[in-house]
Amino acid sequence: MNTQEYHLLLVTNGFEGTRPALDYGLWLASKMKAAVTLLGVAEPADAYHPVRPLVEETAKRLDSARLPYQVEIRVGHTEEAVSEFVKQGDYLLVISPLGRPPLRRWLMGRSFRHIMAEIASPILYVPVARIPVKNILICIGGLGYGVTAENLGFRLAEVTEAGVTLLNVVPPIDLDYPTARAVKENWEHLIDTDTPPGRALRQGLKSAEAARLLASVKVRHGNVVHEILDEIKRGDYDMVCMGSAYSAHSLRHLYMPNVTAEVAEAANCPILTVRYAGEPQGV
């Protein structure tokens, strides 16, 4: 997948906490040589965060960077405006926390979860803009759900000249069938096994090497969310890539939507999530 196919969509509702997405999106667009749409959403009930000053400031920066861009202003709730807007093109959405008050989060859930459920386009969630990107963590499962995120992660590693670490987390397994036993008993050298996760790691490493990326493999065992967050903390990664299995049909797969969301909400770095669009592989 060529990163130049993507048109970056940078979003702000005027909340100062959306600035990381604007900073990061502008930097990434310059690396990708991608066109940008700057979407400002004026929320009727929010008089404290007028959107136009932040939009105008960012437009001036895009001018200075000589990046092709257009500005769009919408009125309404940001989540709904973004969901409608992305249907118009092939976007890579770059977005930060939208400053929702605790009561609204409690009643309606976090904005990121709503956006992730409604939007099929790749989402780069930026709570903190870590620039430059030197080290990317790519989470790889064994059923194919992370393949799309893996491919885009490799492309971003190429344009940012970052190293990549391929991570597989083996969760506690209570199923008793040959593949499950093989994964559970051999997780410390999973890459050498003839299992879906083992094959996925080998293929991921092969793809990274073909792209001339500096790549390594790590395997962990335990609670998936806890292990990914601990690896992010210990590895000091600048970006994390994860798949999302929305629209896929399976009761047993590694990266359920809530896992990706929980990691994104707790991690202190940008999270790239890409929805899986095909049929699951393996068992």
Dihedral angle at the C-alpha atoms of 45, 48, 51, 57, nearest 10 degrees? 180
Burial of 85 (0-12, 13-18, 19+ CB in 10 A): buried
Beta bridge partners of 69: 36
Structural domains of the chain, ranges and CATH numbers in brackets: 3-125 (3.40.50.620), 135-275 (3.40.50.620)
| Tokens coding 257 | 């939507």
| Tokens coding 27 | 């930097």
- What pLDDT, on the 0 to 100 scale, is given for residue 34? 93
CB 163 within 8 A of CB 136: yes
Beta bridge partners of 169: 220
Phi/psi at 149 (nearest 5 deg)?
-65, -35
| Tokens coding 184 | 């559970």
Average pLDDT value for the chain: 82
CB 21 within 8 A of CB 10: yes
**Which of the residues in the chain have pLDDT under 50?**
1-3, 103-109, 246-257, 278-283
- What pLDDT, on the 0 to 100 scale, is given for residue 276? 57
**What pLDDT digit, counting tens, does each position of 23-35 carry?**
999 999 999 999 9
- What pLDDT, on the 0 to 100 scale, is given for residue 87? 86
- What pLDDT, on the 0 to 100 scale, is given for residue 143? 52
- What pLDDT, on the 0 to 100 scale, is given for residue 25? 96
- What pLDDT, on the 0 to 100 scale, is given for residue 245? 54
- What pLDDT, on the 0 to 100 scale, is given for residue 274? 84
Phi/psi at 115 (nearest 5 deg)?
-65, -40
